[in-house]
Amino acid sequence: MRILSGIQPSGKLHIGNYFGAMRQHIELQAENECFYFIADFHALTSSPDPAKLKANSLDVTADYIALGLDTDKTVFWRQSDVPEVTELTWILSCITPMGLLQRCTSYKDKVAQGLSPNHGLFAYPVLQAADILIYDSELVPVGADQKQHIEVTRDIAVRFNNKFGEILVLPKEHIIESVAVVPGIDGRKMSKSYDNTIEIFEPEKQLTKKVMKIVTDSTPVEEPKDPDKCNVFALLKLVAEPEELAEWDQKYRAGGTGYGAVKKRLAGLLIEYFKPYRQKRAELADNLDYVEQVLKAGAERAGAVARQTLSRVRRAVGLRG
């Protein structure tokens, strides 16, 4: 099955990204033909600092490689290295009703937050539709927040096919059933935009410091505690073996265990969990030329597919194919 997903290079990847998306992306490689890309055109809609945009794209790629991306099998590239996708975006824009985009909640939310929207932000879902359709993607694994964008993609593809014939492959969304939403150290959803993240490759001391800062309630050590309401326990679930988790569950409910003790164990487990990948990540940081080569090779493979689809589309709408 042809699987495709994109990730914005908007900052250092955190454990919410890992358990919510990256781990599944990596697992899906075993049985599928995977196409993953760095969505740097999309990132432009939030006006990033140019040097940061460039550096983040390489960092995210290095994170994926260190965490198990199979660079021979999976096609991994930087969106802007296959600019044909913007041409398809234009063609699709011309059959996309304004109302469809006006209903998009991620756009409406940003405007409601007071952001003054640019045209790119409004047209964001059309570029995403082009990303998906230009690679004949069959399945698009995304977090629940992206569900509407996949529906918009299907809507646009159906309109296109109705008008011009069966040219585009209709993708299915595949909502990643993550371990629910991973909480950040302040208890809100872990997100680059809230400055509450624990980065996957955070230096170990800093990681421990952050874990010790996770917000908990003020139940005294000796009293019973509810694990299901605890941010530390929610993170522990991601990395502890079931037997150990059951032990902590009992300790919480029995009382006599302080949050400090659980936090220390959590920090230890997180460090252990990502340890096998750290060495590789450090090597890649010293060899960004190699990371760049992976992206270039990916762009060649992705570009070959994109050009074929685009040629089909161009002919269908009456342009030179």
What value, to the nearest 5°, has the Cα angle with vertex 302 and ends 288 and 282? Answer: 20
Local structure of residue 289 (DSSP, 8 states): H
Residue 17 is a binding residue for ligand ADP (CB under 6 A):
yes
Which residues make up the interface to ligand TRP (CB under 6 A)? Answer: 4-6, 8, 39, 42, 128, 131-132, 140, 142, 146, 149
Binders in 18-37 for ligand ADP, by CB under 6 A: 20-21
Q: Which stretch binds ligand ADP (CB under 6 A): 45-53, 185-193, 207-215, 223-231?
A: 185-193
Largest CA distance in the chain: 76
Question: Is residue 163 among the annotated active site residues?
Answer: no
- Is residue 49 helix, strand or coil? coil
Angle between helices 50-66 and 259-285 (to 10 degrees): 100
User: Closer CB to ligand TRP, residue 147 or residue 251?
Assistant: 147
254/252 Cα distance (integer angstroms): 6
Q: Which stretch binds ligand ADP (CB under 6 A): 16-24, 57-65, 205-213, 249-257?
A: 16-24
259/213 Cα distance (integer angstroms): 11
Q: Which stretch binds ligand ADP (CB under 6 A): 15-23, 75-83, 160-168, 200-208?
A: 15-23
Question: Is residue 192 among the annotated active site residues?
Answer: yes
User: Closer CB to ligand TRP, residue 142 or residue 235?
Assistant: 142
Shortest Cβ 245–ligand TRP spacing (Å) = 29
- Is residue 256 helix, strand or coil? coil
Q: Which stretch binds ligand ADP (CB under 6 A): 14-22, 27-35, 97-105, 110-118?
A: 14-22
140/145 Cα distance (integer angstroms): 13
User: Closer CB to ligand ADP, residue 81 or residue 199?
Assistant: 199
Q: Which does 42 bind (CB under 5 to 8 A by kind): ligand TRP, ligand ADP, none?
A: ligand TRP
Q: Which does 39 bind (CB under 5 to 8 A by kind): ligand ADP, ligand TRP, none?
A: ligand TRP
To which residue do tokens 């600092």 refer? 49
**Chain position whose Cβ is nearest to ligand TRP:** 6
Q: Encoding tokens for residue 203?
A: 């230096």
CB of 14 closer than 8 Å to CB of 202: no
Question: Is residue 280 among the annotated active site residues?
Answer: no
Nearest residue to 209 via CA among 267, 156, 122? 267
CB of 140 closer than 8 Å to CB of 174: yes
- When binding is defined by CB under 6 A, the residue of 54, 103, 189, 280 that contacts ligand ADP is 189
CA 254 to each of CA 47, 228, 257: distance values in angstroms, whole numbers, following the listed order: 51, 14, 8
84/127 Cα distance (integer angstroms): 11
Shortest Cβ 190–ligand ADP spacing (Å) = 4
Shortest Cβ 230–ligand ADP spacing (Å) = 16
Q: Give me the amino acid identity at 128.
A: Q
Q: Which does 25 bind (CB under 5 to 8 A by kind): ligand ADP, ligand TRP, none?
A: none
User: Closer CB to ligand TRP, residue 5 or residue 96?
Assistant: 5
Where do the DSSP E strands lie in 70-142?
75-78, 139-142
Name the residues that contact ligand ADP, by CB under 6 A. Answer: 7-8, 10, 16-17, 20-21, 142-143, 145, 178, 181-182, 189-193
Catalytic residues: 110, 189, 192
